[in-house]
């Protein structure tokens, strides 16, 4: 950079006017010549020193602000997720309390205790949420009010039951006992009806009635898992000691990946002490459990498989001859259930259809050890028009949908006699679709997976065997 100025002066005798011109093009500046003849001028050059410290300080401030923003954003996401969970829990509790209010099912002190535990947990969580919530808390306040109202309602129902319902039930039981004594004294010579068949026995004339549903709970995966199956393991050697199992399908309604086992019904109700296992090859909700083994349709094939529940390993896999699969002949309104396993007093069965049967139901009795087909029966009932099916004492019972709240057991096929016919047994439900129906011979109950809810029904049999 050249800053030597050049002089330009006039020839007049007036004090010369000096103009400093720089070789580099900045600007022209007016100056003067001192007594030694040197050109003098003042130039202010820009400060070219880069403010490193100020920039570093600015960067640090921006980083602090970014971290704060990320923390607040994560809190908002967390609060949004928690609020959605609370809303689902409140909705679930509302459904359960509405059922209790309508007296659709019998309820016990354990039912109240379970709901009280859930409400107390939500109360604790909502308090923590309010402490850390920044911004408008209108939604949180609304949730808190709903939870408080829920607590009062549960307490009111519990008090009502303790003060009135239990006493009334005791009076009714006492009156029934007196009435029975009176009838016995007047009709000593009148033969009494035979008692109900013992658990696991086929000394009856078939299914004649189904009780109202008992709502056990929502499946452990949550509201989004509307497809699946559940039931209780049945073993002829230990008929009353089987574990309860719950197997929700993934949200695609096809893949069976996780299932849980509970040793007792109390554990199931409290989500306590579960044994959770994972498989990667299950398809559809036609699952059944027999003698500590789970039976499934192998993904994307007509193969059937046996999974040991103790080791969670496949012990047998083989093809089911000619069985249609992959939604060729699934049940009405339920996909991927072309192959449906069933358990009854006689052992393990499989319900399916073939191309040769033109979609009509085929029943096969299986060897539960080797999965070999022992015998097969062809029916005249078209499988896709059936909503679900189950077996009792070698008799197939099929259901169909009458409305969003009612199913009907409308068809039966007796493998013992080869007879088939129509029935008209109504079956109430909580939600619209039945994803699976599993019968337990010892409990004499149906375990039904109903759009994510676990329901159970008591089965009533005709006391005199049909001739």
Among residues 359, 282, 287, 296, the alpha carbon closest in space to that of 328 is found at 359
**Residue 361 near residue 379 (C-beta atoms within 8 A):** yes
**Which two three-digit tokens encode residue 369?**
């050890």
- Please say if the pLDDT value at position 287 is more than 80: yes
**Residue 230 near residue 450 (C-beta atoms within 8 A):** no
| Domain map (residue ranges) of the chain | 1-46, 71-164, 207-461
55 pLDDT tier (thresholds 50, 70, 90): confident
pTM of the entire structure? 0.62
Q: How far apart are CA 295 and CA 288, in angstroms?
A: 5
Q: How far apart are CA 286 and CA 227, in angstroms?
A: 11
**Residue 346 near residue 392 (C-beta atoms within 8 A):** no
Residue written as token pair 């574990």: 243
Q: How far apart are CA 221 and CA 452, in angstroms?
A: 9
**Which two three-digit tokens encode residue 66?**
């970014």
**pLDDT tens string 369-407:** 999 999 999 999 999 999 999 999 999 999 999 999 999
More confident residue, 14 or 397: 397
Lowest mean pLDDT among 33-37, 208-212, 329-333, 453-457: 33-37
> Domain 71-164, what fold?
Methane Monooxygenase Hydroxylase; Chain G, domain 1 (1.20.58)
Residues in the chain: 467
3-state SS class at 213: coil
**What would the DSSP string read from start to end of 152-205?**
HHHHHHHHHIIIIIHHHHHHHHHHHHHHHHHHHHH-TTSPPPPPPPPTT---S-
Q: How far apart are CA 366 and CA 391, in angstroms?
A: 13
Q: How far apart are CA 175 and CA 359, in angstroms?
A: 54
Q: How far apart are the first and last CA of the chain?
A: 121
Helical segments of 242-355, H only: 265-270
Among residues 197, 85, 83, 91, the alpha carbon closest in space to that of 136 is found at 83
Among residues 389, 435, 428, 431, the alpha carbon closest in space to that of 412 is found at 389
Judge whether 71-164 and 207-461 match in fold: no
**pLDDT tens string 412-437:** 999 999 999 999 999 999 999 999 99
3-state SS class at 316: strand
How far is C-alpha 336 from the chain's CA centre?
Answer: 18
Lowest mean pLDDT among 38-52, 102-116, 128-142, 372-386: 102-116
**pLDDT tens string 148-206:** 777 777 666 666 555 454 555 555 565 556 556 655 655 555 445 456 788 989 999 99
Q: How far apart are CA 304 and CA 164, in angstroms?
A: 52
CATH class entry, domain 207-461:
mainly beta
Please classify residue 269 by burial: count the beta carbons closer than 10 Å to its beta carbon, then call 0-12 exposed, 13-18 middle and 19+ buried: middle
């Amino acid at each position: 950079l050249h800053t030597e100025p050049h002089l330009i002066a006039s020839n007049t005798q007036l004090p010369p006017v000096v103009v400093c011109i720089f070789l580099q093009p900045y600007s022209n500046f007016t100056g003067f010549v001192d007594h030694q003849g040197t050109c003098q001028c003042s130039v202010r050059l820009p400060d070219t020193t880069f403010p490193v410290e100020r920039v570093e300080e600015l960067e640090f401030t921006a980083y602090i602000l970014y971290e704060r923003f990320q923390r607040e954003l994560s809190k908002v996401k967390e609060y949004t997720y928690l609020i959605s969970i609370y809303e689902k829990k409140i909705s679930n509790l509302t459904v359960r309390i509405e059922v209790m209010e309508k007296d659709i099912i019998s309820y016990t002190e354990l039912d109240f205790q379970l709901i009280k535990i859930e409400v107390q947990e939500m109360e604790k969580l909502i308090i923590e949420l309010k402490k850390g919530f920044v911004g408008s808390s209108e939604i949180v306040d609304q949730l808190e009010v709903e939870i408080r109202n829920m607590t009062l309602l549960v307490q009111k129902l519990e008090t009502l039951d303790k003060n009135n319902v239990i006493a009334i039930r005791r009076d009714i039981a006492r009156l029934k006992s007196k009435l029975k004594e009176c009838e016995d004294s007047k009709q000593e010579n009148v033969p009494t009806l035979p008692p109900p068949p013992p658990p696991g026995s086929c000394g009856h004339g078939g299914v004649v009635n189904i009780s109202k549903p008992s709502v056990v709970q929502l499946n452990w995966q949550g509201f989004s898992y509307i497809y699946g199956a559940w039931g209780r393991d049945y073993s002829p050697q230990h008929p009353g000691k089987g574990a309860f199992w719950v197997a929700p399908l993934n949200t695609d309604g096809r893949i069976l990946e996780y299932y849980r086992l509970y040793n007792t019904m109390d554990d199931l109700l409290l989500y306590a002490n579960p044994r959770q296992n994972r498989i990667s090859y299950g398809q559809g909700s036609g699952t059944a459990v027999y003698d500590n083994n789970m039976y499934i349709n192998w993904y994307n094939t007509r193969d059937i498989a046996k999974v040991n529940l103790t080791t969670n390993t496949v012990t047998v896999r083989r093809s089911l001859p000619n069985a249609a699969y992959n939604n060729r002949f699934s049940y009405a309104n339920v996909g991927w259930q072309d192959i449906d396993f069933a358990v009854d007093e006689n052992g393990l069965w499989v319900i399916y259809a073939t191309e040769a049967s033109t979609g009509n139901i085929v029943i096969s009795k299986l060897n539960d050890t080797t999965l070999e087909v022992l015998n097969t029966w062809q029916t005249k009932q078209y499988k896709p028009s059936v909503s679900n099916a189950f077996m009792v004492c070698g008799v197939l019972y099929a259901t169909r949908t009458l409305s969003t709240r009612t199913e009907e057991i409308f068809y039966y096929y007796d493998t013992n006699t080869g007879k088939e016919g129509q029935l008209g047994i109504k079956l109430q439900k909580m939600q619209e679709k039945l994803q699976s129906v599993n019968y337990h011979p010892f409990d004499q109950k149906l375990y039904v997976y109903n759009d994510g809810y676990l329901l159970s029904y008591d089965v009533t049999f005709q006391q005199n065997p049909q001739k």
